[in-house]
Amino acid sequence: MIDLPQPTGAGLWPPEETQPQTKLNQPWRAFVALGEVVVAGLVLWAAFALWHAGVVTVSTTASDGTKLISERYFGGHIAGALGLGTLSAVLVVDAVRQLLLAVRAKHKKKKD
């Protein structure tokens, strides 16, 4: 067995943080969560509007009187709606995180 020198005092790794630790529990985070939920609702509304703009019903009448009905899909609108829906979901997840940090996170007590 090899006896290696042990670090002392200033040579400890990882070095101790010199900055004061900030509290995660901050009540203003609840207002941020509320704002994110409102923005997520507006973004979701825009996603539905964009989806409906991306689907157009086309009807034509043939020479023999037969009525033909079909739907035309615009990929850019559909892709934009999917992107906005994803953004809305991310905003809701972050709002939940902000709300939990506003309510539950407590500052750890230092051990003496």
DSSP string, 26-53: -THHHHHHHHHHHHHHHHHHHHHHHHHH
CB atoms within 10 A of CB 91: 21
pLDDT digits over 27-48, tens only? 888 999 999 999 999 999 999 9
Q: What percent of the chain has pLDDT over 90?
A: 62
Nearest in space to 31 (alpha carbons), one of 92, 98, 83:
98
Q: Which of 30-39, 50-59, 69-78, 95-104 has the lowest mean pLDDT?
A: 95-104
Alpha carbons 85 and 22: distance in angstroms, whole number? 34
pLDDT digits over 72-91, tens only? 999 999 999 999 999 999 99
Peptide bond into 20 cis (omega under 30): no
